[in-house]
Structure 1
Amino acid sequence: MRHNQNSYTVDEALQKLMHFCAYRDRSQKEVEDKLDSMRMIPEAKEKIIITLMQEGFLNEERFARSFVRGKYRMKKWGRIKITQELKKRQISSPIIKLGLSEIKENDYLSTLYQLAEKKAEMISETNTFKKKKKLADHLIRKGYEPSMVFDCVNDIID
């Protein structure tokens, strides 16, 4: 029974957050932000978060793994950018490491090369040095490790 649009019982909030977490994996920070927006008191927030974890709706490792798979496969992000985004979501370093284990090393390298070749074709720069710089900057912005990027760029552009 809602008194006004901004107040929820613990059970109503829990139901709402179960749906929120079932739709896609969420980080604990996303759940806390959602509870804040619902104006839940700290005791209720804690109770709800514990229940969500116990019931398997909230799992940081599962979130990190699915986040890594999604950003790597769909957006072709590199490890550095993925790590920064997970840190923004307050995921701990050990869990980030587990999440990154979803990326296989040989796939990672071939993805980097595919991205580089595709982008190199689109860069109309005739000066080899400038073309290499533009390509390297693009790949580094995507979150790939600079040392890997420079090796790749040098392999692709002669």
Structure 2
Amino acid sequence: MQQRLTPLQARQKIKYYCAYQERSHQEVKNKLYEFGLRKDEVEEILSELISEDYLNEERFARIFAGSKFRQKQWGKNKILHELKAKSVSPYNIKIAMREIDEDEYARCLEKLTREKWNALKNEQYIIRETKTIRYMMQKGFEADQVKNVLKNLRGK
């Protein structure tokens, strides 16, 4: 546990924390409580950060969804779950999910499924299929879509 910060010290630190990278409201709130602030101080600083545009939940959610898909190749289910875990509002989650281009998503799904399928070519057919589906679901892709891609791969 770190030493309790004054509201002024916390305000300076949290502005740097928010400027460094986009943060969810919940992450910032937790950090302020870690600084030892009381609820009324936390609420005051949060509203100040929002009014000064250091904190914007919609912007955070859109950047989070877009970057997790493009950089880590996460599927929609995993992104949705992570945004919920960060206490992002359903409205902002819906906006964030629009950041994922459907065509790009389908290409990514097919590419990753094909790569995993090919990497398991020495496995028995049913094990190969099960491992591929499980892997893709862990990445957050929808099982029915993965099965459709597999059906197309087998048809070739």
1:88 aligns to what? 85
Q: Show structure 1 runs of 5+ residues with no match.
A: none
Aligned residue among 142, 146, 151 for 1:149:
146
Tell me how far apart the structure 1 counterparts of residues 133 and 8 of structure 2 sit (CA, whole Å).
Answer: 52
Q: Show structure 2 runs of 5+ residues with no match.
A: none
Q: TM-score, normalised by structure 1?
A: 0.92
Contact 1:132/1:154 (<8 A) preserved: no
1:157, CA displacement in angstroms?
3.0
Q: Summarize deviations over 1:78-129 as a string: whole Å, max 9, x none.
A: 0001100111111111111101100010000000011111111211444222
Contact 1:64/1:96 (<8 A) preserved: yes
Calculate the aligned-residue CA RMSD, in Å. 1.2
Q: Helix, strand or coil: the match of 1:143?
A: coil
Tell me how far apart the structure 1 counterparts of residues 78 and 3 of structure 2 sit (CA, whole Å).
Answer: 36
Tell me how far apart the structure 2 counterparts of residues 85 and 126 of structure 1 sit (CA, whole Å).
Answer: 32
Aligned residue among 8, 28, 34 for 2:31:
34
Tell me how far apart the structure 2 counterparts of residues 14 and 84 of structure 1 sit (CA, whole Å).
Answer: 30
Tell me how far apart the structure 2 counterparts of residues 157 and 125 of structure 1 sit (CA, whole Å).
Answer: 15
User: Bigger shift: 45-54 or 112-121?
Assistant: 112-121
Q: TM-score, normalised by structure 2?
A: 0.94
